[in-house]
Amino acid sequence: MADESIIIKCKECGTPNRVSTGRLSDKPVCGRCKAELPPVLSSPVNVTDRTFEDEVMNSPVLVLVDFWAPWCGPCRMMGPILDGLAKELSGRLKICKLNTEENRVIPSRFKINAIPAMLLFKGGVLLEQIVGAHPREALLNKIQKFI
């Protein structure tokens, strides 16, 4: 498989920089101003109805959105698994968490009727829906089809 690249916007000058995912650990710098580029996230990001478009639909990398609630035992069991996958697949997968108790619009838009539910997006397109708690390996197998 060919090495993929992502676009990272420089926080100093705003220039978009194409960076190979294989070189993300090399602390890439901006091609224009030579400032160090911001790190790619290695932990899940909390999203809301308001931030969903920017964080998920406009993301340059594959995104897994975890629809969860604080009272949901299986949702809480998935937390450490998703934390580990966020670190392991940093630069290739962005994990977002959306609390369904505090955000009603996005779960309704995607007809989320049971949690935990996870949706995979790439380029704003829904690729896969995963319902229920899954072991790490099973979840990783589903994700790797799209990386």
pLDDT at 1: 41
The listed CATH number (2.40.160.40, 1.10.3720.10, 2.40.128.110, 2.30.30.380) that belongs to domain 1-39: 2.30.30.380
| For range 71-97, the mean pLDDT | 92
Predicted TM-score of the model (pTM): 0.77
What proportions of the chain, in percent to the nearest 5, are helix, strand and coil? 30, 30, 45
In whole angstroms, how far apart are CA 85 and each of 38, 53, 102? 20, 22, 24
Q: Using the predicted structure, report yes or no on whether residue 113 has a pLDDT greater than 70.
A: yes
1-22 confidence digits (pLDDT tens): 446 777 788 889 989 999 887 7
pLDDT number for residue 11 = 83
Tell the residue number behind the tokens 């308001």, with chain if given.
50
User: 3.30.470.10, 3.40.470.10, 3.30.429.10, 3.40.30.10: which CATH number matches 45-144?
Assistant: 3.40.30.10
Catalytic one among 13, 30, 33, 75?
75
Backbone angles phi, psi at 25, to 5 degrees: -80, -5
From residue 11, alpha-carbon distances to 39, 59, 126, 136 in Å are 11, 16, 29, 34
For residues 132 and 74, the answer to whether their CB atoms sit within 8 Å is: yes
Query: Which residues sit opposite 96 in a β-bridge?
Result: 45, 65
Extents of the domains making up the chain: 1-39, 45-144
- Across the chain, mean pLDDT equals 91
Q: Among 4-8, 12-16, 71-75, 77-81, which is the least confidently predicted range?
A: 4-8
* Residue type at 106 in one-letter notation: I
Q: Which of 24-38, 62-76, 99-113, 115-129 has the lowest mean pLDDT?
A: 24-38
| C-alpha–C-alpha distance, residues 6 and 19, integer Å | 5
Same fold, 1-39 and 45-144: no
CB 82 within 8 A of CB 135: no
| Catalytic residue check, 75 | yes
pLDDT tens digits, residue range 16-55?
999 887 777 788 999 999 999 877 767 899 999 999 999 9
